[in-house]
């Protein structure tokens, strides 16, 4: 099915099941422990051996000598695989560095060996016996030091071939002439995905065929890159990932656990399971790279922006890509004269890549502080300033309208619900004994582009009237099982209890996969397309004109006839397969999601301790397919935003080139006690230009802007402006107002 004209009325608009707050259909399996994760697949490989990965002890250089004799002779050891005996390996298209290092080392904790043994403890003990002599080389580990050598990235880096630089009008001249100007620099640190389930894989060879049960967000990408790395035909590789314990972008691509499990299983001649240790997850897999961002805004005394410029610097390994932190600035606010630019420095740190709304999340951490600072200079309310500079067209291409843009409504709705009119000037509201707690409110706009991707599905109907959905789509904890079941149930006129969903297997039709906020909308549209084909097949077999066919209550009706779906399917059943392919509507119209984040904080005037007290998100993101699962995504993203604002940072050892705090003891993330009451409002919206379901993505919108809302609230509470994330108490203490 080609989606190249706006959606009109269709069966989804009944909203009998779609759009309702349904419980997750995979919930019972998750809560009873019967949902199998990759490392736990005892049912498919009862005699699996254990692999432990050894990571490189240098960040750059060569392995001069590696001695594995003691490890090979250790009790229980079945095999030790290194680059010396692994055979010729390729590299996946989506990997920046080779997944198995040696003799060249590209980054710290790059995998250099896997030890396979009967028991995990034996493999771990033997791995410690491997002796490696390195010839280290000097590397670049500081973005600040490498900034001046940074270069514009290739034009095709970033989503949709995002250009490294854009200019409209005369930014430099307009900025110089502006009556009110802001020129500030903001920094965001390296951050880790830190998902609960580690990168883990079970690998099984049957002759020359390889099957891996793994934790991966993008099944088809992973299958292709695994085949490419091992030099196998794609049809010899099967990748299965029905349940994933968190991904956040860190499991979009093939990682070392998959390759090392496959190599270990080949060498040992039996199934092998590998789970990356937490330190290797943080230094071996991808992370969000640090950014340096310079933002310049010029405005008239009336508050209208006349010039806006945003430059961002980030780093990655040779051949890597930038953090696209200027993405939202190209679209969020009006301003006749504009400039955005990205520069990429070569750093010898572990690979940087997609994490929790890449681009917009760190970009808004800077931009939405800058917008607040500009409002303060203009002596305007920060919401009023944002509303004044709202636009209904792409600011860089004014002849290109937004398909839907309700940013203003999000901000006004949030202001009323949050009690924004009670906000006081910075440093003036105190509570508690002796006025110990400084109280402040902050706001930030939320923005995330709406991306779509072709996605296929197969739908089966059996003689019991049960509808089975099959697609390689993944569920990373976001509710894919449920919204795909809701889509099929709505389309076929059955209850949710009559739908079975099979996901996460490369033997199934290729879907959009989970990532970039494109997964739910795109994959549900693929199921919609397959259901349209199945409805036609059912109507034909029932002798009913498909234009007149009504699917409801497990029946198909039309032309004076009424038949149960099971009766029509018969003993052999019916099946249909199709995919959604998107035309150029997203090029004719700018498709984006919008929101407003509101936050109230209390800051201890003695210690600088920050407590988040209230949070509100107002989202405009097309049709919400399931308000319950969507809310869960948004409050989870808001929690991540608090982490980014107050605590999350990978600290770089600039002598040795690695992340020092590479575990969950040193890498801090919010705990339950850190997160207060969270409220989410979804505006009633449909976007017929986005998909047949008139939906968009929403999960990543929930993080975009949160950190800045927290930072702005801290400033409102204390009068202290921090432009270097995370906002820890040591950065606040020296400038805090004295207790009352």
Rounding to the nearest 10 degrees, give the CA dihedral for residues 169, 174, 175, 180: -130
Q: Which ranges of 419-463 does DSSP label H, i.e. alpha helix?
A: none
Among 364, 390, 363, 325, CA closest to 443: 364
Contact yes or no for 83/101 (Cβ under 8 A): yes
What are the φ and ψ backbone dihedral angles of 56, each rounded to 5 degrees?
-65, 145
**Rounded distance between C-alpha atoms, residue 703 and residue 43, angstroms:** 38
Among 349, 39, 69, 324, CA closest to 203: 39
**Rounded distance between C-alpha atoms, residue 709 and residue 447, angstroms:** 13
Among 476, 556, 461, 484, CA closest to 516: 476
Residues in contact with 363: Cβ distance below 8 Å, sequence separation at least 6, in sequence order: 291, 293, 310, 312, 324, 325, 326, 327, 328, 329
Among 371, 319, 308, 369, CA closest to 344: 319
At which residue do the structure tokens 């920050």 appear? 610
Q: How many Cα atoms sit within 13 Å of 154 on the Cβ side?
A: 9
Q: Is 552 helix (H, G, I), strand (E, B) or coil?
A: strand
C-alpha triplet 405, 217, 624: angle, nearest 5° = 30
Rounding to the nearest 10 degrees, give the CA dihedral for residues 593, 597, 643, 632: -60
Order of strands across the sheet with 574-582?
2-3, 574-582, 455-461, 467-470, 499-502
Contact yes or no for 92/286 (Cβ under 8 A): no
Pairing relationship of beta strands 455-461 and 574-582 according to DSSP bridges: antiparallel
In the DSSP assignment, the letter for residue 355 is -
Contact yes or no for 302/132 (Cβ under 8 A): no
Beta bridge partners of 490: none
What are the φ and ψ backbone dihedral angles of 206, each rounded to 5 degrees?
-125, 95
133 in catalytic set: no
In the DSSP assignment, the letter for residue 567 is H
In the DSSP assignment, the letter for residue 572 is T
- Extract the tokens encoding 104: 């060249």
With 0-12 / 13-18 / 19 or more C-beta atoms within 10 angstroms meaning exposed / middle / buried, residue 330 is: buried
- Extract the tokens encoding 684: 């009633």
**Rounded distance between C-alpha atoms, residue 612 and residue 422, angstroms:** 17
First to last CA, the chain: 67
Contact yes or no for 400/394 (Cβ under 8 A): yes
Cis link prior to 120 (omega < 30° from 0)? no
**Rounded distance between C-alpha atoms, residue 427 and residue 440, angstroms:** 8
Task: State the catalytic residue, choosing from 360, 600, 685, 700.
Answer: 700
SS3 sequence of 20-57: CCCCCCCHHHHHHCCCCCHHHCCCCCCCCEEEEEEECC
Q: How many CB atoms lie within 10 A of CB 515?
A: 25
**Rounded distance between C-alpha atoms, residue 733 and residue 739, angstroms:** 12
In the DSSP assignment, the letter for residue 589 is S
**Rounded distance between C-alpha atoms, residue 115 and residue 618, angstroms:** 50
Among 354, 310, 344, CA closest to 328: 310
- Extract the tokens encoding 55: 């990571």
H helix or E strand, kind and range, residue 98? none
Q: How far is CA 350 from CA 107, 255, 347, in A?
A: 5, 12, 8
The residues annotated with a catalytic role in the active site are 700
């Amino acid at each position: 099915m080609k989606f190249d004209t706006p959606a009109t009325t269709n069966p989804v608009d009944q909203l009998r099941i779609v759009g309702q707050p349904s419980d997750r259909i995979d919930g019972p399996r998750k809560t009873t422990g019967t949902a199998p994760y990759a490392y736990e697949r005892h049912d498919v490989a009862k005699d699996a051996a254990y692999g432990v990965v050894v990571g490189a002890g240098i960040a750059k250089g060569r392995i001069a000598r590696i001695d594995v004799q003691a490890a090979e002779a250790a009790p229980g050891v079945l095999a030790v695989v290194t680059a010396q005996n692994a055979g010729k390996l390729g590299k996946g298209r989506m990997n920046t560095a080779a997944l198995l290092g040696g003799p060249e080392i590209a980054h710290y904790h790059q995998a250099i060996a896997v030890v396979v043994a009967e028991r995990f403890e034996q493999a771990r003990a033997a791995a410690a016996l491997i002796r490696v002599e390195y010839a280290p080389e000097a590397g670049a580990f500081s973005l600040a030091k490498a900034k001046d050598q940074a270069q514009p990235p290739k034009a095709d880096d970033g989503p949709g071939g995002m250009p490294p630089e854009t200019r409209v009008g005369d930014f430099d001249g307009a900025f110089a002439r502006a009556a009110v100007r802001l020129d500030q620099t903001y920094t965001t640190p390296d951050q880790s995905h830190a998902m609960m389930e580690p990168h883990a894989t079970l690998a099984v060879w049957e002759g020359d065929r390889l099957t891996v049960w793994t934790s991966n967000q993008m099944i088809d990408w992973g299958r292709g890159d695994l085949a490419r790395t091992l030099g196998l035909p794609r049809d010899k590789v099967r990748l299965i990932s029905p349940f994933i314990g968190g991904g956040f972008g860190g499991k979009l691509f093939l990682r070392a656990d998959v390759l090392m499990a496959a190599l270990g299983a080949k060498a040992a001649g039996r199934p092998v399971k590998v789970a990356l240790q937490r330190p290797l997850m943080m230094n071996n897999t991808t992370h969000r790279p640090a950014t340096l961002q310079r933002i310049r805004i010029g405005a008239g005394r009336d508050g209208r922006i006349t010039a806006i410029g945003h430059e961002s610097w980030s780093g990655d390994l040779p051949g890597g890509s930038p953090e696209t932190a200027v993405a939202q600035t190209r679209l969020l606010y009006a301003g006749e004269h504009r400039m955005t630019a990205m520069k990429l420095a070569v750093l010898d740190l572990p690979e940087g890549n997609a994490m929790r709304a890449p681009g917009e999340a760190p970009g808004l951490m800077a931009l939405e502080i800058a917008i607040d600072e500009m409002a303060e200079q203009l002596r305007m309310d920060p919401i009023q300033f944002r509303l004044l500079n709202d636009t209904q067209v792409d600011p860089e291409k004014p002849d290109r309208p937004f398909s839907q843009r309700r940013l203003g409504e999000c901000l006004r709705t949030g202001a009323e619900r949050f009690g924004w009119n009670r906000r006081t000037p910075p440093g003036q509201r105190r509570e508690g004994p002796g006025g110990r707690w400084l109280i402040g409110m902050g706001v930030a706009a939320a923005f995330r582009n709406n991306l779509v991707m072709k996605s296929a599905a197969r739908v089966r109907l059996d003689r019991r009237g049960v509808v089975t959905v099959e697609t390689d789509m993944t569920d990373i904890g976001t509710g894919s099982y449920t919204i795909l079941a809701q889509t099929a149930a709505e389309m076929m006129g059955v209850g949710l209890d009559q739908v079975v969903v099979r996901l996460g297997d490369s033997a199934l039709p290729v879907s959009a996969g989970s990532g970039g906020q494109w997964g739910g909308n795109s994959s549900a549209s693929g199921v919609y397309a397959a259901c349209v084909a199945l409805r036609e097949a059912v109507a034909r077999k029932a002798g009913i004109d498909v234009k007149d066919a009504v699917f409801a209550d497990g029946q198909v009706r039309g032309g004076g006839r009424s038949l149960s779906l099971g009766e029509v399917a018969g003993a052999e059943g019916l099946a249909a397969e199709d995919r959604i392919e998107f035309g150029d509507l997203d090029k004719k119209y700018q498709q984006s999601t919008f929101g407003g984040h509101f936050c109230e904080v209390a800051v201890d005037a003695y210690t600088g301790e920050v407590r988040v007290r209230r949070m509100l998100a107002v989202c405009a993101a097309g049709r919400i397919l399931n308000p319950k699962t969507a809310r869960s995504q948004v409050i989870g993203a808001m929690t991540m935003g608090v982490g980014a604002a107050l605590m999350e940072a990978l600290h770089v050892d600039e002598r040795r080139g690695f992340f020092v705090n590479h575990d969950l003891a040193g890498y801090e993330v919010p705990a339950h006690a850190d997160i207060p009451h969270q409220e989410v409002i979804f505006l009633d919206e449909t976007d017929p230009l986005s998909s047949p379901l008139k939906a968009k993505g929403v999960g990543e919108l929930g993080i975009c802007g949160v950190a800045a809302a927290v930072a702005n609230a801290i400033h409102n509470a204390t009068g202290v402006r921090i432009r270097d994330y995370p906002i820890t108490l040591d950065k606040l203490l020296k400038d805090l107002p004295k207790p009352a």
